[in-house]
Every structure is written in structure tokens, then in C-alpha cells.
């Protein structure tokens, strides 16, 4: 039995003058449940302008060292601040063009997005746009991809956790983590590939061609099938479950495999 220590949470800076709205509260909640530490930029004063947000954002980036910034386009009540978010974006990129910025806007497409994209792409910045009506789930997925680096831990439902860096898979039971030692080498590589795809996008199927790199023998497809079966058996044994054909790792006919988080 090995107990797992939880790493420090990654900070995400949220810059939005409506950060106290119900809509934004649901985003905060989701970010927290996904292991992020969301911090809102809150300038103080009676009549705040976009410039106040700009100053405080740049200051917070220096002090909080966030992994990403969630930034609104519109600020304040003044017409001059209608697109202040774009000018804050420009300032952030000028200082650190590797900082991932997810723009929260009504203009997920259209001329203003195009202007901002053109401006940010020219310096190779990591910028994406998302509609403010997007579900918190979608926000987290987009943020993850924007941050890009593989997470320390990928949760596979509530039953398993994978640590790609340490090459370890855990079975989780009542908060206790037990290493599944049977899963190593090619089986671990296959699970890592499937879990990474699931982490990036819920519905992504990993094509056979990508997984067959981790199988051997003359018939690589058959060999892959065997490894997947072994993988399911090992995972099932660790949680006293028998995963059927339509559970955990699903064969999508003629295409590839897909990891589906198991239910309790």
C-alpha cells in the first residue's frame, strides 16, 4: 500500500469584472474541482475602469505565477473599455508570450477575434477564445489544452489515477491510493495514450495506428487486442470489477480504442 501525496494546485488567474456573477461562480467551482486554484483579479475603488484591471492583472501575473489567464474582453461601464481585454492581452503577451490566455467573450468568432488572433499569433502566443455561454466543462477542457503540458495526475473516473511522469497507475478506494504493479511497459504506454486523449477531449478515439506502436508480433492488431484485454483485467482486478466490452476501454469498430471513465 502506497499513499500518494497531492501536489500543489496550479493557479489560474481570472480577469473579469463580472467574476461574482452566477455564471462565473460555476466556472470557479469547476476549476477547483478539477484541481486548479482560480484567483480573481479584484481592483478596489468606486468607479473602476479597464486600466485598473490592466494594472492589477499585470501585477497579479508577477506575484501569483499563474499557469494560465482567463480574460474577459469587455470591462467596466465605459464605452472606451469595450475591448479593453484585447489591450490587456497585448500587454500580457508583450511581457510573456508563453503565457496561455483563454479569452472569455461573446465574440468567439468574428472580426474582433480575428484582429486579436492576428495580433497574438504574430508573436507565437498561446491564445484561444471561448464563448461566455460555454459550459464550465468546456472551459476546463480548453484551458487544459491551452496549458498543453501533461498533468501530473490524470483521473480516470473516481476509481483510477494515472501519473504519466512517474509511470504509475493507482486504484483509488475511499481516498486511499494503491499502485497497480501489473501495469507497466507497453500496457502502461497504451493506457497513457488512451488517458491523455480522454484528458484532452472526452470523445476522442485513439486510432489503431497510434496504439499499434506499443504492441509487437507479426499481427500487431491482434497483439494490441490481447494487451487491451490484459489491461482491462488488471484494472478490474484492482477494484474487484469485471469490465465488459462496452466499459472502460471500448473498441470503436474499425477505428481504434477509447477510454471511458468507469462509474462507481
Partner 1 sequence: MSERIFSTLKYAGLSLAVLGLGLILLSPLIGEIVTPDMLWWIEPVAYIGSGFFIFGTIVGYMSFKFNRNSQVGRSDGRTWSQVTQDYFDTFAHDMGRPLRRILGKQREARALLNETGEVTHRMVAELLDEIENQAPNFRLMIENVRVLVDLEDQSSTPAVEPVDSAAIVRNVSDRYSPIARERGIDLIWWCEPSEFGLVYGDGSALDHVVTNLVDNATKFAAHQIEIQLTREDKFYSVRVSDDGPGIADSYLAHVFDRGWTPELSARSEKQSSGLGLFIASTLAERCGGDLIVDTYQSNDDKNKNAYTRFTLSLPVDNRS
CA distance to 169, 180, 232, 255, 260, per residue, from 243 (Å): 17, 16, 7, 21, 11
Does position 39 bind partner 1 by CB under 8 A?
no
Q: Is 139 helix (H, G, I), strand (E, B) or coil?
A: helix
Q: Is 206 in the site for partner 1 (CB under 8 A)?
A: yes
Position 245 contacts partner 1 (CB under 8 A): no
110 is an interface residue for partner 1 by CB under 8 A:
yes
**Largest Cα–Cα separation, the chain:** 73
142 binds partner 1 (CB under 8 A): yes
Residue with smaller CB distance to partner 1, 30 or 187? 30
Q: Please choose, out of 109-117, 159-167, 179-187, 237-245, the segment that lies near partner 1 by the rule CB under 8 A.
A: 109-117
**x-marked contacts with partner 1 along 10-29 as a string, rule CB under 8 A:** -----------xxxxxx--x
Q: Note whether 169 and 162 are within 8 A (CB).
A: yes
Burial class (CB in 10 A: 0-12, 13-18, 19+), 20: exposed
Q: Does 138 bind partner 1 (CB under 8 A)?
A: yes
Query: Is residue 204 a contact point for partner 1 (CB under 8 A)?
Result: yes
**Which CB, 70 or 141, lies closer to partner 1?**
141
For 167, phi and psi rounded to 5 degrees? 50, 55
Binding mask 113-132 for partner 1 (x = CB under 8 A): xx----------------xx
Q: Of 177 and 258, which has the nearer Cβ to partner 1?
A: 258
CA dist., res. 56 & res. 202, Å (int): 35
Amino acid at each position: 500500500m502506497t499513499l500518494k501525496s497531492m501536489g500543489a494546485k496550479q493557479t489560474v488567474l481570472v480577469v473579469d469584472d463580472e467574476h461574482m456573477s452566477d455564471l462565473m461562480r460555476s466556472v470557479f467551482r469547476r476549476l477547483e474541482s478539477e484541481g486548479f486554484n482560480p484567483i480573481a483579479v479584484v481592483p478596489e475603488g468606486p468607479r473602476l475602469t479597464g486600466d485598473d484591471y490592466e494594472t492589477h492583472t499585470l501585477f497579479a501575473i508577477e506575484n501569483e505565477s499563474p499557469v494560465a489567464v482567463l480574460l474577459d474582453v469587455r470591462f467596466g461601464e465605459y464605452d472606451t473599455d469595450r475591448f479593453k481585454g484585447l489591450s490587456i492581452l497585448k500587454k500580457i503577451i508583450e511581457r510573456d508570450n508563453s503565457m496561455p490566455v483563454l479569452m472569455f467573450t461573446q465574440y468567439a468568432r468574428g472580426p474582433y477575434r480575428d484582429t486579436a488572433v492576428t495580433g497574438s499569433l504574430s508573436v507565437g502566443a498561446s491564445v484561444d477564445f471561448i464563448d461566455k455561454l460555454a459550459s464550465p466543462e468546456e472551459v476546463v477542457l480548453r484551458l487544459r489544452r491551452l496549458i498543453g503540458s501533461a498533468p501530473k495526475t490524470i483521473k480516470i473516473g473516481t476509481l483510477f489515477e494515472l501519473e504519466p511522469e512517474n509511470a504509475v497507475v493507482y486504484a483509488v478506494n475511499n481516498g486511499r491510493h494503491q499502485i497497480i504493479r501489473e501495469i507497466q511497459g507497453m500496457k502502461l504506454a497504451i493506457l497513457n495514450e488512451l488517458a491523455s486523449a480522454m484528458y484532452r477531449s472526452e470523445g476522442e478515439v485513439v486510432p489503431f495506428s497510434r496504439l499499434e506502436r506499443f504492441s509487437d508480433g507479426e499481427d500487431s492488431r491482434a497483439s494490441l487486442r490481447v494487451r487491451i484485454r490484459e489491461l482491462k483485467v488488471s484494472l478490474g482486478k484492482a477494484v474487484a470489477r469485471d469490465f465488459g466490452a462496452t466499459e472502460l476501454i471500448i473498441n470503436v469498430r474499425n477505428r481504434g480504442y477509447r477510454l471511458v471513465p468507469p462509474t462507481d
